[in-house]
Structure 1
Amino acid sequence: MTRIALAVDLGGTKIDAALIDDEGAILAPSRNRRPTGPAITPDGLRAAVTDVVSRALAHLPEGAEFAGAGIGSAGPIDLATGSIHPVNMPGVHGFGLVEAVRDAVIASSGEFDPIVRLRHDGGCLALAESWLGAAAGARASLSLVVSTGVGGGVVMGGIPIGGASGNAGHLGQMHVGELTVEEIAAGPASVRWAQLQGWHGETGEDLARSAAEGDRIARAAIERSAKTVGQALADASSLLDLEVIAISGGFSNVSDDYVDLVAAALRDWAALPYAQRTRVVRSALGGDGPIIGAAALVLRA
């Protein structure tokens, strides 16, 4: 019998839900989303959760075994209480996301006591990459998003490492010098830096075009981002003895060689040979990683 999980992926701009089977395939008709945003309230988020969950579960195949619900959320999270404290949605700090999803599943499916598991979105991405993606088979891996923010997750021996509160993997809040990785390397931060150097574009897409056309400031901004990420990853690999690092996120596509630049910076910065050998690769799952990983929280338990 096919096992099906409900996956919920909550980010700063949207909440996604979908049904995913035990092979990691997304049931396309079930996938749906609603906007979130920095001004969302607890009532607004609860309504969005109820809506996306009910729409997804309406496509549960007859005869399939419902395995439960997995949630990946912007962090920090609190595993002990099932609540979230997302930096980019201050109005919902303390929101009981596990409870909201459980209530929505019960209301939509009639399940009396469904399994509901929570991780932050970087941890879900890492779990998906280690299951089906670029880190499959690796003994120790880290998966990373470089986008409007920078975040990631760690998997050891196929098990996601959450740490004491479930928040391990917040690489973007590590410091390189006096600034955090996110303050230097994320897309908006790179655009701001380039503007301060005299570049006249507005977005990461503009930065990519300018660099491709030979603009030296735009190219320098991209190299600065990649070098910072690589240096942080060198330290992470020295600490964790990582075999593979998979990189995704919109800003990682700002140049064809972005991942190669990160890998070179890691090798240059790492002090020990085992860390220098860490493979840095592009994600094999792209934007689907976090939602597939959310499903894996129940399908791979």
Structure 2
Amino acid sequence: MTALALDVGGTKLAAAQVSETGVLGDVKKTPTPETGVWDACAELLRAVAGDSTITAVGIASAGPVDTVAGTTAPINIPDWHDGFGIVAAAQSLFPSATIYFAMDGACATWAEHLFGAARGVPNVLGMVVSTGIGGGIVLDGKMVSGRTGNPGHVGHIVVPGSTEECSCGGIGCVETVASGPSSVRWAKLQGWEGDDGEQLAKSADAGDSIAVAALQRAGTALGQAIASAGALLDMDLVVVGGGFAQAGPMLWDPLYESIARHARLNFLTDLRVVAAELGGLGTLTGAGALTLERT
């Protein structure tokens, strides 16, 4: 059996069919448009579905989400800020299918728990460090869903020293310091002349002092957030993925140093932090797997 899976992000949309063993079929992607986002999603879903009989559709969306109401209002998709009824829209497209809907970080974390770096680990925090910072939580081998489907918003843990206003409206969220765009913005204010997170990582590897400082700043903030989450949740493992997490030792070394400095409670001494294994497709994999479990 397979499920049709959709990943709705602030910069890209993706869809694929997913098997029960986590194998993805042909993946189709498109940049997230400024308007007409659902039309673009529907076009992807139809293309991936083809002539197949679709009985299950899994949707992973950037948050905040409301899985009870079936709506999503991603911070990075202005077109949906008032809340979009994504479950109803998918149901109208596939009237006979079971629709399952979850936050993208939860789907990515569940995929790592089933098939990736957290395979078989009962207590896991997943983090996706990219355009924003999201995540998901697995405790005692079960996905934590919470009241509205939003556990794992680790990007909005407040870190020491940050006073910048976040896109969520709060002050000092780790996302304002450690996401790719936030790090690039800070580096440019210091005089760096690159354009994106990938260039920032390359500049740091080449020894550019501003780029090195930007990644050190980001890694330190991520370590502070992980230490806080670890103390709260008593986890075995933290899995960190996302495009900006690929920045290498210039990001990861200060992250580990920060955890060592802040996670000092005795039950945190065995907390492990590793890179995600499934890459950018883990979210689709998790959306499909969660849907098939409930079908």
Q: Give the TM-score, by structure 2 length.
A: 0.90
Counterpart selection for 2:3 from 5, 28, 53: 5
Q: Distance in 1 between matches of 2:15 and 2:211?
A: 36
Root-mean-square deviation (CA, aligned residues, Å) is 1.7
Q: Distance in 2 between matches of 1:295 and 1:159?
A: 16
For structure 1, which segment, 194-203 or 220-229, has the greater mean C-alpha deviation from structure 2 after superposition? 194-203
Q: Is 1:88 the equivalent of 2:76?
A: yes
Q: Match for 2:155: what amino acid?
A: G
Q: Deviations over 1:195-225 (max 9, x none)?
A: 2223232322221122111122211111110
Q: Is 1:130 the equivalent of 2:123?
A: no
Corresponding residue for residue 269 of structure 1: 262
Corresponding residue for residue 14 of structure 1: 12
Corresponding residue for residue 152 of structure 2: 169
Unaligned runs of 5+ in 1: none
Q: Distance in 1 between matches of 2:253 and 2:241?
A: 13
Corresponding residue for residue 98 of structure 2: 115
Corresponding residue for residue 29 of structure 2: 33
Corresponding residue for residue 167 of structure 2: none
User: 2:149 aligns to what SS in structure 1?
Assistant: coil
User: 1:175 aligns to what SS in structure 2?
Assistant: coil
Q: Give the TM-score, by structure 1 length.
A: 0.89
Shift of 1:274: 1.7
Kept after mapping to 1: 8 A contact 2:239/2:275: yes
Kept after mapping to 2: 8 A contact 1:72/1:120: yes
Q: 1:233 to 1:119 in 2, by over 3 A?
A: same
Shift of 1:59: 5.6
Q: Distance in 1 between matches of 2:21 and 2:51?
A: 17
Q: Is 1:286 the equivalent of 2:279?
A: yes
Unaligned runs of 5+ in 2: 164-171
Q: Distance in 1 between matches of 2:189 and 2:40?
A: 39
Corresponding residue for residue 72 of structure 1: 60
Q: 1:211 to 1:35 in 2, by over 3 A?
A: closer
Q: Match for 2:45: what amino acid?
A: V
Counterpart selection for 1:188 from 171, 181, 192: 181
Q: Match for 1:95: what amino acid?
A: F
Corresponding residue for residue 103 of structure 1: 92
Aligned-pair identity (%)? 40
Q: Distance in 1 between matches of 2:5 and 2:93?
A: 13
Corresponding residue for residue 166 of structure 2: none
Q: Match for 2:291: what amino acid?
A: V
Q: Is 1:207 the equivalent of 2:200?
A: yes
User: 1:75 aligns to what SS in structure 2?
Assistant: coil
Corresponding residue for residue 156 of structure 1: 139
Q: Match for 2:42: what amino acid?
A: T
For structure 1, which segment, 201-210 or 239-248, has the greater mean C-alpha deviation from structure 2 after superposition? 201-210
